[in-house]
Structure 1
Amino acid sequence: MSPTSATSTTAIDASVARCFIPYPAAEVAHAASGPLSGLRLAVKDIYDVAGYPTGCGNPHMLALSGIKQTSADPVEKLLAAGAGFAGKVCTDELAFSMNGKNAHFGTPRNGGAPDRIPGGSSSGSASAVSNGLADIALGTDTGGSVRAPASHCGLIGLRPTHARISLKGTMDLAATFDTCGWFARDMDSFTRVGNVLLGEDSGNLPDTPRVMVAADVLALLEPRVQAVFSQTLERLDHVIGTPLPVKTATPSFDALYWAFRHIQGYQAWQEHGARIRRHDFQLGPGVAERFEWSSTITAQQMEEHSAVRARFRDSFGQLLGHDGVVLMPTVPDIAPLLTDSEQSLENYRNQAIRMLCLSGLSGFPQISLPLMRLDDAPFGFSIIGPHGSDQALIRFATRLMHERA
C-alpha cells in the first residue's frame, strides 16, 4: 500500500485509548458531501464545539465553561467540508505541557508505542488518530504540542505559519505562539485537511527546494539519534540530494530557549493568571510550577526577550530565503516511558524546547513525518520552510513519504 493512501490501523476500544472526553453526546452537524467526506474528526478540548463545554484539561475551566453555542473557526471549516465529528479529546492542562499526562483526566494511550507517553498538549488528538479512532484530529501547537505528539505516536503533524489559520473560538495560551495544527496517519487525508484550512501559499517555495540540515541541532543529540537521522538522509538522497549543514540558532540555543520560555510564560500568565488566582485552580505537577514561575516574569523581561526573538527571526528568515528548507529530527529522542519520573519528563521537555523553538520563535511552518524509528518506537523527521510556504511544504513532505521503506 502506498504511504500516501489510507493506513490499515485497526481501531481499539475507545475505553482502552482513554483519549475521548466523556461528555454527553450532542448532535454536531456536518456537510453531507465535501472534500473531507468519510473522515472522522476528533477535536482537542480547547476548541469550542457547539453543544459541548470547553474544558481545557482543567476541572475549573470546565465548571466555568458552559455549553458553547458556536464552534471555533477551524472546527466549523472542517465540518462544512464534510468531516464527521468523532468527539472531543483530552488535552494537557491549559495546554501548558508537552507530556500528555493530565493529573485530572489521565493519560491517553500512545497508539504507536503504548508503553510511552503520547506527548502533549494535543495528547488526545494524537491518541485518537494513532489508535484508529479518528482519521484526522485538530490540535494546537504553541511550543511543540502538535509536532511532539506526532513524533511520539508515529503521525504526520504540522505547525503552520503563525496566524495563517484563525483560532477564533479557541483557548489562548500564548497568542504570539499559538497555532492551529492537525494530525493524520496518511498524506492523502492530511493534504485534504490542509486544502480546507490553509488556502493558497503566500510564499513561493519551489518544488525542489534548497535543502539544509540543522547541524547545530544534531550536535545536541545522542549519537544513536544522529545515526538514525543520517541513515534517513541517505535513504532520501535521490530526493533531497546532499543537504548543506548550517547553523540555525542565533545567537545560541540557550538564548532562544529562555526567550521562548519568558515570552510564552508572560503571555500565559497574562491570559490565565487572574483566573487561576481568583478560583484557586488546583493545577497538576509541572503545570503548577510553570504557571508560578510565569507569574514572576516582568514586562521588561518580556521586552528584552522579544528583541532576541526579533533578531533570530530575521537571521533565520535570511537563512531560508524563499527557496530553502531545514531538515532535523522533530524532538531529541523517542517518547519517554510512562514510568519515567516527573523530573525526567521535565528535563526531556526542556531539551525538546531548544529544538522546537526554532519554528515557534520564527513563526515559520514545520511538519513532522513518521520517517524514523528507534528501539521499535516512532520518531519524527521534520522539515521547516519559509513563512507562508505551508502547502509547498506539504507537497515536498509527500514526496519524502513516498520514499518511506
Structure 2
Amino acid sequence: MTADAHAAAAASARCFVPYPPVPLENAAAGPLAGVRLAVKDIFDVAGYPTGCGNPHRLAMSGIKSSSAPAVQALLQAGAHFVGKVYTDELAFSMNGKNAHFGTPRNGGAPDRIPGGSSSGSASAVSNDLADLALGTDTGGSVRVPASHCGLIGLRPTHGRVSLAGVMDLASSFDTCGWFARDMGVFSRAGEVLLGPDSAPLPEQPRTMVAADVLALLEPRVQEVFSQTLDRLAGVIGTPQPVKTAAPSFDTLYWAFRHIQGYEAWQAHGEQIRRHDFQLGPGVAERFSWSATITPQQMQQHSAVRAGFREVFQRLLGQDGVLLLPSAPDVAPLLTDSEQSLENYRNQAVRMLCLAGLSGCPQISLPLMRLDGAPFGFSLIAPVGSDRSLIRYAARLMHECA
C-alpha cells in the first residue's frame, strides 16, 4: 500500500488519533519484526499524550516521557509503531461510539458498530492498517470488538500482563489484551507479553459447553454455534454441557456491575466532579450510577465474586476449556438507538462476566458468521493457562481453515 493509499484508508477507518507523529525506536530484529503495531489511547507512549477518549483527560495529559511496559516489550520484539488509536470514553463502554471523536470503522462489517472500548484497536487491525493492536478488557473490551470485527482477541488471566502506564478503569477487572488477524502474529505477541504458563493445559483438554449461556441466546445464534461445534469435532470431541452461573446470571451481573462501577468511580470520580467532565451518552449515566455505590455494597458483591470464583475454577479444574459464543449476537447496526445498544450491553455483560469475575483467560476466534457479519467463538480456560490456550485455539483455527 502506498503512503497516499494508506493515508486515505486510515482517514476512512477513522481509528487513528491525529497526534503529530513521533518516531519510536524498535528492535531491528525479533519475533515481531515487520509487524505494524497500533496502541489504544489509554496506554502511555513516549512522545505522545494519553487522551483516554476524553477531551478533558487529553488536555490534562501532557506528553509522556516513557512508554507502558507492554508497549515497550512489543517494540523491543521488533514491532513497528504506526499510531495511537481511539477508545471509547474513559474505556467505560462496549459499543465503540465516542461522542467526542466519532466511531471507528468496523472492517469486518462496515454498517455495524466496531464494539468497544478497544474500538480503534479492532478497527485498525480489521481494516489492515495494523497487524497487531494493544487493547484492554475490563468487561469485554477486547472480546466484543474481536467478535464484531472478525479478529482474534484475548482477555488474559487477570494480572498476567503489566498494566503499568495504562489508565485504570476497574483495577480488579482490568487486563491488557491484543488483536490480530493472523494466528502466527497473535501467538508471537503472546510469547512476548505472557511469559511461561503457571498452569498449562494438557495436549487434549476436557471440553465443556456453557449450556446456560446458550439458553440466554436466540435460536439462530444457538444454531450457528452448534454447527461450529460440529466443524470442530475433530479437535474438541463431544463437549459436556455444563451450568456456569452460580448462583444465577442476574446475581453475577449485578456483582460485576457494582464492583466495576465502584472501582471506576474511585479511579475517575474526583476528576469528573472537579473539572465537570462533559461525558457522552451512556458513559455519563454509568458514572452517575457508579457514584451512588456504597462500600457496603462493594463488600457484599465482592463476596459474591469470591464464591463464584471458587465454583467456576473448580468447574474448569486444571484441564478444562469452556466453549461459548463471544457475544450475544453479531454487532448491532450503526443506526440502532442508544437504548438498543444499552440493552445489548446489558445482555453481553451476563455472559462476559464469567471470565471477568473468575479472573480466567478467554480468547475469541473469528470462526462464525451470522447475517453476513463476523461472530466470535470463545474459549475460557483455567487461570495461568494463557499460552497453552492460544496453542489450542490455533488448532481450532487450523481445523476451520
TM-score range (shorter-chain normalised) is over 0.9
Q: Distance in 1 between matches of 2:380 and 2:82?
A: 31
Out of 325, 330, 337, the residue aligned to residue 326 of structure 2 is 330
Matched, 1:258 2:262: no
In 2, the alpha carbon distance for the partners of 1:168 and 1:124 equals 21
1:1-400 correspondence to structure 2 within 5 Å: 13-400=9-396
Tell me by how many angstroms 1:27 deviates.
1.4
- Which amino acid is the alignment partner of residue 322 of structure 1? Q
Cα distance in 2, alignment partners of residues 163 and 111 from structure 1: 30
* Cα distance in 1, alignment partners of residues 54 and 400 from structure 2: 39
Aligned mates of 1:55, 1:236 — CA distance in 2: 42
Q: Distance in 1 between matches of 2:188 and 2:65?
A: 27
Q: Secondary structure at the match of 1:263?
A: helix
**How far has the Cα of 1:403 moved from its partner?**
1.2
CA distance in 2, matches of 1:58, 1:210: 44
1:9-54 CA distance string (max 9 Å, x none) = x977100000000001111111111110000000000000000000
Deviations along 1:197-222, one digit per CA (max 9) or x if unpaired, are 00100013101100000000000000
Displacement of 1:61 in angstroms is 0.1
AA aligned to 1:27 is P
Q: State the SS of the aligned residue for 1:387.
A: coil
Is the partner of 1:403 in helix, strand or coil?
Answer: helix
2:76, 2:232 → 1: CA distance? 37
Q: Are 2:200 and 2:386, in contact at CA under 8 Å, matched by a contact in 1?
A: no
Tell whether the 8 Å contact from 2:136 to 2:178 is kept in structure 1 after alignment: yes
Mean Cα deviation higher: 10-19 or 394-403? 10-19
CA contact (8 A) 2:235 2:396 kept: yes
Amino acid at match of 1:98: M
- What is the CA deviation profile of residues 247-287 of structure 1, one whole-angstrom value per residue up to 9, with x for unaligned ones? 00000000000000000000000000000000000000000
Task: Give the Cα separation in 1 of the matches to 2:110 and 2:11.
Answer: 14
d(CA) in 1 for partners of 2:232 and 2:360?
A: 23
Q: For residue 378 of structure 1, report the CA deviation from its aligned partner.
A: 0.1
The structural deviation recorded for 1:389 is 0.3
Within 1, Cα distance between the matches of 2:117 and 2:184?
25
Counterpart amino acid of 1:352? A
- Counterpart CA distance in 2 for 1:376 and 1:207 is 34
Partner of 1:180, secondary structure, is strand
Q: CA deviation at 1:100?
A: 0.3
**Deviation beyond 6 Å, 4+ runs, structure 1:** none
Identity %: 78
* Runs (5+) with no aligned partner, structure 2: none
SS at match of 1:13: helix
Query: Please, what is the CA RMSD of the aligned residues?
Result: 0.8
CA-to-aligned-CA distance 1:357-389 (integer Å, 9 cap, x gap) = 000000000000000000110000000000000
Contact 2:13 2:124 in 1 (8 A): yes
TM-score for the superposition, normalised by structure 2: 0.98
One-letter identity of the residue aligned with 2:298: M
1:313 partner amino acid: R
